[in-house]
A = this chain, B = another copy of it.
Amino acid sequence: MSSYLEQAKAILEAYLTQKGLRRTEERYKILKAIYEDLTHFDADSLYHHLLKGGYRLSRATVYNTLELLLACGLIKRYTFGEGSTVYERSLGRRQHDHLICLDCGFIQEFCDPQMAYVVEGVGRLFQMKPVQHELIVYAHCLADSCPNRRETYTFVQE
C-alpha cells in the first residue's frame, strides 16, 4: 500500500499527461512539502518552508502550482477569519470542518455526520444542488491559559 504522497504523485502525473503539461521539479517539490510537512498553510509559509529546506524557487511558481493542485483536487483552499487563505492536502482525508480558537488561532478539525443532513436539506429547500460546504466554528479555549501556542497556520498538529 503506497503512501498518500505516492498516490498524489500518480494523480498529478495523470493530470499532467492528460492536459499535456510538464513534469517540473518545482511541482514535485511543492507536492512533497504539502504531503509530508504541512497541514494548514498559506502560499507564503509554503514558499518560506521550501526556501528553508534549501530549495530555491519563486513565489509565482508557488501560486501557479497551488492553482494546478487545486485543479486536480490534490489540495483544498479555505478562507478563515479575516480573510486569510489556508490550504491543506486533500488526499486520504475525509470531508471535515474546522473549529478555530479565537485566542491562539489553533485549528481543530472535526467531522459531524449531521452536517450531511443540513446540507442536503437546504439544497432540497431551495432547489439547488450542493457541491461543497464549509463550516467554521469560532471558539475560546475553556482553560484560562490557552494551551495552544500562537503561531502561523503552518505545522498545526491534528
Taking beta carbons and an 8 Å cutoff, which residues of A are in contact with B?
79-83, 85, 97, 99, 101-102, 108, 110, 112, 114-115, 117-119, 121-123, 125-143
Contacts and interface: CB of A to CB of B under 8 A. Distances in A.
A112 B121 contact: yes
Contacts of A110: 122, 125-126
B134 A135 contact: yes
A119 B110 CA distance: 11
Main secondary structure of the interface of A (DSSP, over half): strand
Contact of A142 (B83, B114, B127, B135): B127
A119 B138 CA distance: 9
A128 B142 contact: yes
A109 to B, nearest CB: 10
